[in-house]
Structure 1
């Protein structure tokens, strides 16, 4: 039984291109399956999460991160009696628009595309699923349900100043960017927070960028969980054996906090439908104030000790150079684009804005390793260290 405030797939606002419904799957389950079979989703395997994707087999990349977010989101949605498929598909797709090299690549592509309106990975995710990813000659894009597109566009909340990509879609099929999304998208957004806080800690410890004793000294929440783990296994001396339990317990603490606070918020707001959730004027999924205060030192420590660690920072500038120089090379020589991308340019004639945005679409879709190879092919050199050159 779904809660009254859950999003009901049978009451979906539909798809941009009308299609008969599946006799086997709900609309949102069908959307999830379409996403999983997409090329853009597979490319997440070789896109940076924190570490450049080829650097180490055991670290998270965009694909594994997205799978972990989806697992957390689906579990939370089940407990709250929301639509699990909708929470899962928004979680799986939430990072779909990231260019190669993560935030470094996004910063570089934003600068390169400044004359054409800039770049935003959230808006680009909408372009992927509505325009660029084609699996049938019947239409461009994946033709996902309105609720999935809404969740992708505003899972972090209302969008006051949409960029050109979101604005273009809004003019075509409005997603009501001024309002909050359904609860499933809100769950996906905070599942992302849970996943990256816990798993970046795990990856940082594995890589040796973080020291567990230093983390515990700086983050009381982690210290308390670590003490509890050691107390439950007093004879286990190997930190490497206990550390996965620390990460598991941290996820559990954050999930329980979210469930507790979300139940309180829902009881207070008492929404009777998904539309009432959208018009509530505030988030109805959240962590308790105490947990928010406890998470802050963890985020701060990850920023200081991991995200800005010299071994991570040293790749930022060359990664940005790869993306920015790739864009400029293709802008100067659009004939180097693959055939289908040259056809897209030809269809619009000599329109400089269209050309810049089309090249941006192409570069944004690249994996880390393909971007490195293409940069080397087009420029004859590569600023990345030798171990990243294929």
Structure 2
């Protein structure tokens, strides 16, 4: 690909796929390995289901609130911008951004907590490992092999985009045993970009949704130094406009400041480390993409603010408790009576533990919010979820 830096991932040097390519490949268009990965993800059932999975609000009624799908698209936009500016592979970056949340169960982190508790006797549940499990085992559109058959580089980036893994869940260990992903090294720069693009997206877009939902006020968020500095820039450009109409401009200003900080800091780190290949990036022993020290401190403070005031808002905690009840209740119901599973899933049910309960966990993790609610009402009993989000 023209314009790639020497430390970028090169599709021509990909380590390939676990299963052979479909034939005839020429019919499928002039795409390289990472472009095919991105397209396979976009066309997958698991990606489509993200439109009805929680980002911040459970089963949101409002058309303007974000869900996992729109969040993933926004992460991809930020990731592509950073990748292009640094001479990295945009297609691999986009694939990683689009797929990074595919393993989330219904109801976000509340659903994950409940599924982790239900599956603790058989090794627990981790959404990142389940992303790999979904893409390599469960979502299987091809006639000759399971999974989407993504390239090694995409699977590696998804496995460790947040850094090296030294303690593996059963699911991640199973994936790594089938095709070792060098989990103790740092991932490609494209994966590191996907991770920080995720942080930038939810830091800012969750503020937008929180204020629009009435759970945060603009005055509250302006108490955070990072937000206050961005607000000063917005006010300088639009001194005569009322504050409420400038929320979108505040979010755009802050995303721009954070992206520019990442670019400046990452260029500094790359100049210092001087990696001449993606292998040198993996061997660097530290992340080469990141915020500056000052921005990092402010970003962590903002994250703490969001947990205290939005994610742990009393109204959110009330709904999260219902979400845990739904996921936990479904796990208990299916474990007690596997005949409740759909025919396809019941036909594949392993006879013994721990595979049996892990199979049930796979089914529940793939549910959307609204499907989980409907299954709970059908199999367990009535439950009221507050409307408005």
Same fold (TM over 0.5): yes
- Matched residue, 1:378: 379
Which secondary structure does the structure 2 equivalent of 1:209 belong to?
coil
- Matched residue, 1:335: 339
Shift, 1:386, TM fit? 5.8
- Matched residue, 2:355: 354
Cα contact 1:54–1:369 (8 A) shared by 2? no
Q: Is 1:9 matched with 2:17?
A: no
Cα contact 2:72–2:97 (8 A) shared by 1? yes
Compute the TM-score of the two structures, normalised by the length of structure 2.
0.96
- Structure-2 separation of matches of 1:289 and 1:9: 33
Shift, 1:54, TM fit? 2.7
- Matched residue, 1:129: 135
- Structure-2 separation of matches of 1:82 and 1:119: 33
**1:43-74 CA distances to partner (integer Å, 9 max, x unpaired)?**
00010111113342211110000000011001
Cα contact 2:123–2:170 (8 A) shared by 1? yes
- Matched residue, 1:272: 276
- Structure-2 separation of matches of 1:111 and 1:105: 10
- Matched residue, 2:231: 226
Cα contact 2:185–2:282 (8 A) shared by 1? yes
- Structure-1 separation of matches of 2:233 and 2:192: 31
Segments ≥4 residues shifted beyond 4 Å = 20-23
Which secondary structure does the structure 2 equivalent of 1:284 belong to?
coil
- Structure-1 separation of matches of 2:301 and 2:332: 40
Question: Which residue, 153, 168, 185 being the options, matches 1:162?
Answer: 168
- Matched residue, 2:206: 200
1:243-282 correspondence to structure 2 within 5 Å? 243-282=247-286
- Structure-1 separation of matches of 2:363 and 2:149: 20
Shift, 1:380, TM fit? 2.5
1:34-113 correspondence to structure 2 within 5 Å? 34-113=40-119
**1:186-222 CA distances to partner (integer Å, 9 max, x unpaired)?**
00000000000010111111111111122212x1121
Cα contact 2:233–2:253 (8 A) shared by 1? no
**1:264-307 CA distances to partner (integer Å, 9 max, x unpaired)?**
11111111100110111111100000111222322122111111
Which secondary structure does the structure 1 equivalent of 2:354 belong to?
helix
- Structure-1 separation of matches of 2:182 and 2:108: 28
- Structure-1 separation of matches of 2:284 and 2:386: 53
Q: 1:78 to 1:365 in 2, by over 3 A?
A: same
Give ranges in structure 2 of 5+ residues lacking alignment.
Answer: none
- Out of 373-382 and 35-44, give the one that drifted further: 373-382
What RMSD, in angstroms, separates the aligned Cα atoms of the two structures?
1.2
Cα contact 1:225–1:250 (8 A) shared by 2? yes
- Structure-1 separation of matches of 2:136 and 2:289: 27
- Structure-1 separation of matches of 2:258 and 2:153: 26
Shift, 1:243, TM fit? 1.2
Give ranges in structure 1 of 5+ residues lacking alignment.
Answer: none
- Structure-2 separation of matches of 1:152 and 1:104: 22
